[in-house]
Structures are given as structure tokens and as C-alpha cells.
Amino acid sequence: MMRTRPLKVALLGCGVVGSEVARIMTTQAADLAARIGAPVELAGVAVRRPDRVREGIAPELVTTDATALVERGDLDVVVEVIGGIEPARTLITTAFAHGASVVSANKALLAQDGAALHAVAEEHGKDLYYEAAVAGAIPLIRPLRESLAGDKVNRVLGIVNGTTNFILDKMDSTGAGYQEALDEATALGYAEADPTADVEGFDAAAKAAILAGIAFHTRVRLDDVHREGMTEVTAADFASAREMGCTIKLLAICERAADGGSVTARVHPAMIPLTHPLASVRGAYNAVFVESDAAGQLMFYGPGAGGAPTASAVLGDLVAVCRNRLGGTTGPGESAYAALPVSPMGEVVTRYHISLDVADKPGVLAQVATVFAEHGVSIDTVRQQGKDGEASLVVVTHRASDAALGGTVDALRKLDTVRGVASIMRVEGE
């Protein structure tokens, strides 16, 4: 039997995502009520610019006083889609204190202060859901913390930023340079006017922190995630990747150590074989590859951003939280019982592709090979091309630690026959 008294929902933010949330709540009100067991009512919308026309939202619901809105005391759920650290953090904790559960899409805040927010939610007996914080419409958070709760997740490997994937895909498919591909992404609306958060990996790093924390039942903060951007990736790197049967993606990688005693989380460009499922992810789409003991290999794929896709994830959380509200219960909270240490990047072991500019004369290869051997880095393949006294030497290693590779490169730079290190890129997905 459906309850007639509506559940009251407040919306913090009414931009691209927030306006879609409000639209779906309005146009699909009957379906949402049937799925929840009670109608949902949009009780207020907090915005910064009240003079803008917001189609489908009654003007009397719009306010610039977000604090007063979350302090009302009669709200069941607060949906936060304003982003950033403050005032979002204070508004969320205030909402908990005044009796509301929270649905958020705020990856930056959750990556930085997720543990504290979960603690406040638990203190007040409220829900904190955030499916929309990672990979847009793709169901990922809930499968990790619910569907795979009985399994042991060992690795999460994914493309979690659509802007960077669009740029790299364009460079790969057309031969465009980085700036040319970025300009096209900006013109099409995939890249912001300031794309730094995307192209330097900050956005993906926040998502990696959230995924690692859930997958490994360990608190992983943004500061724990090693981050490298993709602005130095060149057309020559793609040419080298193609020669190896690979392409290049900006990846978020969260791994449990082989002995199970620690975890790592990192974001950086990497070569992956064309045979890997992630290699075929094109345009602005996202995909995440999960490896676990019992389930094996799983892949989640779909649009990772945009108003409607992200709103889909928000509404999914809203339905779940409203159902919990009606049942007088809460869903899963933070699970950090494992408390595994986060290893530094220097201990991460992977393969490497190193391109060197060297003198084209006898003995160079032997010198380079000696340096690799002295630092305990085993060489898999070597390719050398030379002309007019200069040569390009491409070395692909077996698996080695980041620290060992770093020492190797430092030593190579000291050789008189090495003119420079053209590029270094990790090889993943094997």
C-alpha cells in the first residue's frame, strides 16, 4: 500500500545535473512514487543565481539561502550537486544534523573527507549515497559495495574521465596532436574552458580514491593517489604504441598487493594492448574493469558524464534512500575494517616503455643494457633505428618497480651516448 504523505527532497544546485534531476522528478513522478512506495516532493532548490529561468521549477521553491533550506527539519533527503569542498561539506553535515539523508555527486569532497562524512551520517542514523560521484550513469559504487560485498576485489582498472578519453581517442584515430584534440574537445563541450582538473588527472584521482576505498575496505584519500596528467602524450607515443599492438589511455588503477598486505591507487597515461576491453572504449565514454577472486573479470561501460546520465545515477540513489527512509533503516555505510596501508608509487611494479635518443655508434646498446642490469630491471624487447649519427632506442621492460625504473632513467641520462629520454610510459592491462 502506498503512503500518501510525500517524502520531501531538497536540491542543492540546479546546473546541468541538478536541472535534470528536477526534470526527472517532475516528469516521472508517478513512476518514482510506485517504485518507492510514496510520492516524492521537490521541497526547495538552492541556487546562486535566482534570476535565471528554470523550466519546470516553481519560482517559490528557489532560494539562495542553502543553509536555511537544509536546516528546515522536515526534509527527508537532500541532493547535493553543487560540487567543491565548501559550502558543500557544511551543508551536508548540517542536513544530517537536521534529520535528512544525503545523495551526493561530489567526488572531490568524498575523496578528501568521505570518512568524516560517513561518520556524521552514522552518528545521526542517516544515509550517504554517491553513485553519481564516479563514472556518471555507470552503476559502479553499488555493485562494489553491495553486489561484490561477499567477494575479494583485487584490482580496479578504468577510464573514468570522458574528456581525457575523447582527447586520446582523437589523437589515436586521426593522428592529431594534443592541443588540436583538446581544442576539438572544448569546441564540442567535452572540455571545460580550464581543462586542468581533467587533463592533469585530478578528476580521475578523486574517483580512484573513492573506488579504492570501497573495493579494498580501506580509507584511501585523494592525497594517497599518485597522479600524472596526459599533457605530455605525443603523436610519437601513439606511433610507438601501435608498433606494440597497443593504444594509450589515461587510467585509474587501484590494486591490492600480491601478498594482500597493502593497496595502491594511481592515475597516469598507460599503453594497453588492443586486445584488452578498455582499448575499444571510444570518445567520451567511461569503462571500469574489476577483477575479483570469485566473480573473475567484470566490466562496467557507459556514458561517464553529462546532465541526464549523471542525473540517472542520482535518481537511482534517491529511490534507494527513500525506500530506506520508509522502512526506517539505512543502507551500507563506510566499510574500512581492513585498514590496509597505501603503498607509495615507488613500490608499484609494472612494465615500462622507454624511448631514448642516442648516438648512432657501436656499443650504445651494450651501455644501455648494462645500466638496466645494474638497477635490476630486466629488458623484454629493444628496437633501434638510426640515421646520420643519431638514433632512437625503444626499450620495453619486464615488470619492475617504479623506484628501480627511476634509478635506471637517472643513470641513463648520465651516459654520454644518451642524448635524452624522449618518453617513459607504463604498460598495463596484461
Long-range Cβ contacts of 66-72 (<8 Å, 24+ apart)? 66/12, 66/91, 67/91, 67/94, 69/10, 69/12, 69/44, 70/10, 70/12, 70/94, 70/95, 70/98, 70/100, 71/98, 72/10, 72/43, 72/44, 72/98
Distances (CA, A) of 16 to 45, 141, 192, 341: 14, 22, 13, 38
Distances (CA, A) of 296 to 153, 164, 275: 9, 28, 18
Please give the grid coordinates belonging to residue 228. Answer: 600524472
Q: How confident is the model at residue 7 (pLDDT cuts 50, 70, 90)?
A: very high
**pLDDT value at position 79?**
98
* pLDDT over 70 at 360, yes or no: yes
Q: Rounded to the nearest 5°, which phi and psi values hold at 274? A: -65, -20
* pLDDT over 90 at 251, yes or no: yes
Please give the grid coordinates belonging to residue 301. Answer: 561501460
* Percent share of the chain, pLDDT over 70: 99
Q: What does the H/E/C string look like for the chain?
A: CCCCCCEEEEEECCCHHHHHHHHHHHHCHHHHHHHHCCCEEEEEEECCCCCCCCCCCCHHHEECCHHHHHCCCCCCEEEECCCCCCCHHHHHHHHHHCCCEEEECCHHHHHHHHHHHHHHHHHCCCCEECHHHCCCCCCCHHHHHHHCCCCCEEEEEEECCHHHHHHHHHHHHHCCCHHHHHHHHHHCCCCCCCCHHHHCCHHHHHHHHHHHHHHHCCCCCHHHCEECCCCCCCHHHHHHHHHCCEEEEEEEEEEECCCCCCEEEEEEEEEEECCCHHHHCCCCEEEEEEEECCCEEEEEEEECCCHHHHHHHHHHHHHHHHHHHHHCCCCCCCCCCCCCCECCHHHCEEEEEEEEEEECCCCHHHHHHHHHHHCCCCEEEEEEEEECCEEEEEEEECCEEHHHHHHHHHHHHCCCCEEEEEEEEEECCC
**pLDDT value at position 1?**
65
Average pLDDT over residues 121-144: 96
**pLDDT value at position 134?**
95
**Burial readout 183-212 (b: 16 or more C-beta within 10 A, e: otherwise):** ebbeeeebbeeebebbbbbbbbbbbbbbbb
Active site residues: 207
Distances (CA, A) of 328 to 32, 103, 305, 325, 356: 19, 17, 33, 5, 63
Q: CB–CB of 271/256 below 8 Å?
A: no
Summarised one tens digit per residue, pLDDT across range 82-96 is 999 999 999 999 999
User: For residues 424 and 271, what is the distance between their CA atoms, to the nearest angstrom?
Assistant: 11
Q: How confident is the model at residue 429 (pLDDT cuts 50, 70, 90)?
A: confident
Average pLDDT over residues 176-205: 94
**pLDDT value at position 145?**
94
The set of residues, in sequence order, having a beta carbon less than 8 Å from that of 245 and lying 6+ positions away, is: 273, 274, 275
**pLDDT value at position 389?**
67
**pLDDT value at position 225?**
98
**pLDDT value at position 205?**
98
User: For residues 58 and 78, what is the distance between their CA atoms, to the nearest angstrom?
Assistant: 18
**pLDDT value at position 189?**
87
Prior bond to 273 cis, omega within 30?
A: no
One-letter amino acid of 333: G
Average pLDDT over residues 406-419: 95
Average pLDDT over residues 136-152: 94
Q: Rounded to the nearest 5°, which phi and psi values hold at 92? A: -65, -45
**pLDDT value at position 83?**
94
For the chain, the maximum distance between any two Cα atoms, rounded to a whole number of angstroms, is: 85
Average pLDDT over residues 379-385: 90
* pLDDT over 90 at 2, yes or no: no
Please give the grid coordinates belonging to residue 268. Answer: 597516469
**pLDDT value at position 53?**
67
Residue of 131 and 386 predicted with greater confidence: 131
Q: What does the H/E/C string look like for 247-262?
A: EEEEEEEEEECCCCCC
User: For residues 39 and 223, what is the distance between their CA atoms, to the nearest angstrom?
Assistant: 41
Q: How confident is the model at residue 235 (pLDDT cuts 50, 70, 90)?
A: very high
Q: Are β-strands 128-129 and 246-256 bridged in parallel, bridged antiparallel, or unpaired?
A: unpaired
Summarised one tens digit per residue, pLDDT across range 278-301 is 999 999 999 999 999 999 999 999
* Percent share of the chain, pLDDT over 90: 88
Summarised one tens digit per residue, pLDDT across range 14-36 is 999 999 999 999 999 999 999 99
Average pLDDT over residues 322-349: 96
**pLDDT value at position 387?**
64
**pLDDT value at position 362?**
87
Average pLDDT over residues 67-87: 97
**pLDDT value at position 259?**
92
* pLDDT over 70 at 62, yes or no: yes
Average pLDDT over residues 201-220: 98
> What mean pLDDT is reported for the chain?
94
